[in-house]
Amino acid sequence: MQISELAKRCGVSTHALRHYERLGLLQPMRHDNGYREYSEAMRREVVFIAMSRKVGFSLSAIAEQLPAYRAGRLSIAHMVESLHGRVAEIDQQIVDLNTMRAEVVSHAAWLQAQEKKKSPPPPPSHPPRKRKTP
């Protein structure tokens, strides 16, 4: 199948497929006219790559697993273990982001406090009352 059909069937862009090829993740056959020809087995590989990217695996990590996936040696137990490792990474990112968020909120509060120290008191909300003269 050609690149446009593969992209459509896998839900990825042709740009992504060309990128995967440049990185050596995919190696389609080439016709004399330069067109790429993708096999059905490559469709499975693209789905594996796309699903792995969707959950946040890097292309280099995917490249390490792809030979075992192609050869049928990548067990479900190993994939589940990798996914649990990814969950741990995400959990750590959440902790790190929450820490950073608290720092940002703290800095904003400090800056607001500094601004209040510098600014003059606000004017009264209504003008002073005039006294009645007898």
User: Could you tell me the sign of the dihedral formed by the alpha carbons of 39, 43, 48, 49, in that order?
Assistant: positive
- Read off the DSSP letter of residue 129: P
Contact status, residue 22 vs residue 58, Cβ threshold 8 Å = no
The per-residue pLDDT for range 60-77, each reduced to its tens digit, is 999 999 999 999 999 999
Contact status, residue 13 vs residue 27, Cβ threshold 8 Å = no
At 123, the pLDDT band (50, 70, 90 cuts) reads confident
Whole-model pTM over 0.85? no
Contact status, residue 91 vs residue 97, Cβ threshold 8 Å = no
Question: Other CB atoms closer than 10 Å to residue 59's CB: what's the count?
Answer: 15
- Spatial neighbors of 86 by CB under 8 A, at least 6 apart, are 55, 56, 57
Contact status, residue 37 vs residue 29, Cβ threshold 8 Å = yes
Q: Where are the domains of the chain?
A: 1-74, 75-116
* pLDDT at residue 130 greater than cutoff 80: no
Architecture of domain 1-74 in CATH? Orthogonal Bundle (1.10)
At 51, the pLDDT band (50, 70, 90 cuts) reads very high
